[in-house]
Amino acid sequence: MLVRRLGAGALCFLASVSLVCGRVSSDTGDKQLARVKGVVGYQLSATSDFKPIFGRLDLPDDAFAITKPNGSAVLRLKDSSEIDIGENTKVQVGAFNAASSGNQNTIVLNGGALHFNIRHPQGGQSNYRFVTATSQIAVRGTEGFLIAGANGTQVVCVSCAAGDVSVQVGQQTVSIVTNQTLTVLGSNPLTATTSITANPTVNNPAINQFNGNQNPFSPTGNTGVDPTGSFSGAGTGAAGAGAGSVVTTVGAAAAAGGVAAAVASSNKGPAPAATPTPTPTPPPSGPGTLVLQLSFAGATTFPLTFSWPFSQLNATTVATFTCTPSNIVTCTPQQSLTNGTLNGILTGQLLAPGSFTVGGSASGYTLTPTTFNVFGAVTQANPPSGPIAFTQVPGSQNVTVSQAPAGSTLTASINCPGGASAANVTLTGATGPSPLTFTVNAVSAPTSNPPPAVACTITVTGQGDGPHASLSIPVNVTSTGIGISSHRRKAL
């Protein structure tokens, strides 16, 4: 196990000298939430009041376990699986199901970071399903990390055999094994980008918090960055180079957010009694964190005008920002400083696709320059426009599509509706870097009479989730029989 973990007894001692420690048993409940440090609590629903805990409690079905800044907790499950919960995290836990039931345990991470140690069930069925705004992760007997934020999801395998971790992102499924990290960037699972890297290349503060704020994979001299923007873990800040519609907060130790996902309700009993409210911590006397919120389309046309709000509590000076390079981005702050509160709008334009960097400072607080990716529209280059027409079959034509910047991954797929009477058209070389040239192969024409106006549609998907992240190209196959192949598509 790469990550040093405290034993159950040590966790309990750190949480409270009066806390009696032990595993979840049949007479206590099947989901036990235990405070380790800081402010930890729960909500019975997404809109109910937050109730802090000071020891441990049996968590009701579908309740939300919540940690505040500098807080942490552990969730112990009846099958001896454990989930460590990092700071600034909100997680919804569904009803517990034994592996023998054939039902999955669903855990929804609304935002933040988890370190999970899942007991390996008997048989081959994955028994745990983690859900984020962009991904569904089937887990079977493994140790790893899960981080979720406004910019996406990161799944890290510490100890995962082949088939233990399967991640569904939109219409694609990705499997990872020991020493691999999957990063999903974007807010829309249908257009989010995925990449797999080796764990030693990962330096995410959301992960490091579970190891004494030290990188468990590779000793480094810096705090790293969280590509998901989860704001869980020391040194949290903006995401690294991202794709898609990015909504992030730069340099802020904000509470975890995220998109709420539902878990089927199966409440088994009354809510636990409310516990006393802790004495609030007084606010800091110095300047607060400088917060900048960025949002931009992940695939767009240019120039694109933006307005990004920023703020700082207890500020003493106005903020300065840098946006580079000037051929990609320009920005100008418009701001006011009233009674020690800084508010403003960073206005500007994205002028071209590519990578750009934003940084800033105010009242002694510095936003580390952070790099983002912005992509152009997916376009048809050759032929310059659709449709692709075939007057006899079999036949083939080459089509070139592009998306700036060059090298962006493009994927083409084709749909020919009509069941057994549909045209049979296939693609060759349908995935690759931009500019991408693929071949359209018309094997047979539709047999319906009259033939459809559009026999098939090619969909080219690029990077990002903006309004121009994909392109549709119609394909007409109008042959009436000359050269028709005997090969037919199977009925849908």
Which pLDDT score, from 0 to 100, does residue 114 have? Answer: 95
Which pLDDT score, from 0 to 100, does residue 48 have? Answer: 87
Low-confidence ranges of the chain (pLDDT < 50): 1-28, 235-284, 481-492
CA dist., res. 329 & res. 349, Å (int) = 6
The 3-state secondary structure of the chain, one letter per residue: CCCCCCCHHHHHHHHCCCCCCCCCCCCCCCEEEEEEECCEEEECCCCCCCEEECCEEECCCCEEEEECCCCEEEEEECCCCEEEECCCEEEEECCCCCHHHCCCEEEEEEEEEEEEECCCCCCCCCCEEEECCCCEEEECCCEEEEEEECCEEEEEEEECCCCCEEEEECCEEEEECCCEEEEEECCCCCCCEEEEEEHHHCCCHHHHHHHCCCCCCCCCCCCCCCCCCCCCCCCCCCCCCCCCCEEEEECCCCCCCCCCCCCCCCCCCCCCCCCCCCCCCCCCCCCCCCEEEEEECCEECCCEEEEEEEEECCCCCCCEEEEECCCCEEEEEEEEEECCEEEEEEEEEECCCEEEEEEEEECCEEEEEEEEEEEECCEEEECCCCCEEECCCCEEEEEEEECCCCCCEEEEEEECCCHHHCCEEEEECCEEECCEEEEEEEEECCCCCCCCCCCEEEEEECCCCCCCCEEEEEEEECCCCCCCCCCCCCCC
Contacts of 392 by beta carbon, 8 Å cutoff, 6+ apart: 479, 482, 483
CA dist., res. 333 & res. 321, Å (int) = 7
Q: Which residues pair with 336 in a beta bridge?
A: 343
Contacts of 280 by beta carbon, 8 Å cutoff, 6+ apart: none
Which pLDDT score, from 0 to 100, does residue 125 have? Answer: 55
CA dist., res. 169 & res. 188, Å (int) = 9
Which pLDDT score, from 0 to 100, does residue 480 have? Answer: 52
Which pLDDT score, from 0 to 100, does residue 492 have? Answer: 40
Strands 299-300 and 365-376: parallel
